[in-house]
Structure 1
Amino acid sequence: MGRVSQAQAEENRRRVVETASRLFRERGTHVSVADLMKASGLTHGGFYKQFASKEALVDEATAHAFGTLTRLREDAAERYDGQRDVAQRTLIDTYLSTEHRDSAADGCPAAALAVDMARAPGEGEAHRVYAEGVGDFAAWLETEDEDGITRLCTMLGALVLSRATKGSPLSEEILTAAHAALTATR
């Protein structure tokens, strides 16, 4: 079989990073390289031509996931130009929805990767990207009256608990209560 072009190699790498970003958010970073490559439609052997290690892919996939979150915030800010409170409210509405609860693969990396980041050694690039991403998200959620970290903790905690109790009435009750707490007129 012939060698792939540089453009095809870059496309393959992009596909693996995007697939890993989704699978890690959906299933955790313990997903095997074989499963990642299969989901990407590529061979297992091709992985090591693209990445030095699985940890290197975790680093890139984490950065990709937080990059997507940053773009969503930027798009909301642009859409509601000059109305940060409306952009924040729209994001809160989406974040605390059953649709977001049910689609971890496309959801918030802060919620989806929290347990993996807590369990892994804390000196890697993924940890740095994760901490920076959480800090940026919290800063974006800050208002004149409310601390962004508190708002993020409420959102993230509600999402994680709602996912953990999915299928019970408590799941939607958690989302509703957190939404009400964050959007109540003060």
Structure 2
Amino acid sequence: MGHSQTQKQETHERIVQLAAQRFRELGLEGLSIANLMKEVGLTHGGFYKHFESRDHLVAEALATALESSNSQARAGKTATFQALVAAYLSKRHRDSPGTGCAIGALVNDMGRAGEEARALYTAQVRKSLSRIGQRLSATDDSGHDAEAIVALSAMVGALGLARAVDDPALSGKILATVQDYLLALDASSATDD
């Protein structure tokens, strides 16, 4: 790969990484291409040297954001259901949407996204449900589809509410209450098995 081709690839990666962060912070419609390119240090016209359309950028940035979530999950910091819930429903995660879970950050945008982006998002939801199901207390192989769906829905919903309200005490209470509920539900499920 020539020097200019290497530079183009590096610039492309910078655009995608920044877009992945900004989309999680601002939503899919909250980021303008002009502002993104300005932040990267390029002109708006330079965008089309890297992407066919905005939809292609959205899909590529979404794939990057989702892979970031996968990498964090593989890192083992959330090896147990309890650790996963505690990390997801933390003030740190609430306050860091740009580096946090793309499922939670973009849940309200995906219904209006293009087919490719929705397919990527759906695949990630399936992976997350599988990971949660594997972490739930179980003594058999029956799976925990319903519990995983409830847990993911509760975590994403609580994170969204905690980010949306303007009362820090209420925000913290939302996170803590749902965390306590999910951990009690998991403990109850473990004793039922």
Q: What TM-score, normalized by structure 2, do the two folds share?
A: 0.84
Number of the residue aligned with 1:48: 48
Aligned residue identity for 1:172: G
SS of match in other structure, 1:10:
helix
Number of the residue aligned with 1:59: 59
Aligned residue identity for 2:119: R
Number of the residue aligned with 1:178: 178
SS of match in other structure, 2:75:
helix
Which stretch of the first structure deviates more once superposed, 141-150 or 103-112? 141-150
Number of the residue aligned with 1:109: 102
Aligned residue identity for 2:110: M
Query: What are the superposed Cα offsets for residues 117-161 of structure 1, whole Å, 9 maximum, x if unpaired?
Result: 11235xx21100001101111110012385211110111010001
User: Contact 1:101–1:159 at 8 Å: present in 2 too?
Assistant: yes
Report the number of matched residues. Answer: 175
**Separation (CA, whole Å) in 2 of partners of 1:168 and 1:89:** 24
Number of the residue aligned with 1:163: 163
Number of the residue aligned with 1:133: 124
Number of the residue aligned with 2:191: none
1:73 and 2:66 equivalent? Answer: no
User: Contact 1:139–1:149 at 8 Å: present in 2 too?
Assistant: no
Distance 1:14 1:41, change over 3 A: same
Aligned residue identity for 2:45: G
Aligned residue identity for 1:11: E
Q: What TM-score, normalized by structure 1, do the two folds share?
A: 0.87
**Separation (CA, whole Å) in 1 of partners of 2:72 and 2:55:** 26
Unmatched segments (≥5 aa) in structure 2 = 189-193
1:25 and 2:24 equivalent? Answer: yes
SS of match in other structure, 2:109:
helix
SS of match in other structure, 2:157:
helix
Aligned residue identity for 2:167: G
Aligned residue identity for 1:150: V
1:102 deviation in Å?
1.0
**Separation (CA, whole Å) in 2 of partners of 1:99 and 1:9:** 34
Identity over aligned pairs, percent: 39
1:60 deviation in Å?
0.4
SS of match in other structure, 1:115:
coil
**Separation (CA, whole Å) in 1 of partners of 2:72 and 2:130:** 15
**Separation (CA, whole Å) in 2 of partners of 1:75 and 1:171:** 28
**Separation (CA, whole Å) in 2 of partners of 1:13 and 1:26:** 20
Aligned residue identity for 2:105: A
**Separation (CA, whole Å) in 2 of partners of 1:117 and 1:155:** 17
What's the C-alpha RMSD, in Å, of the aligned pairs? 1.9
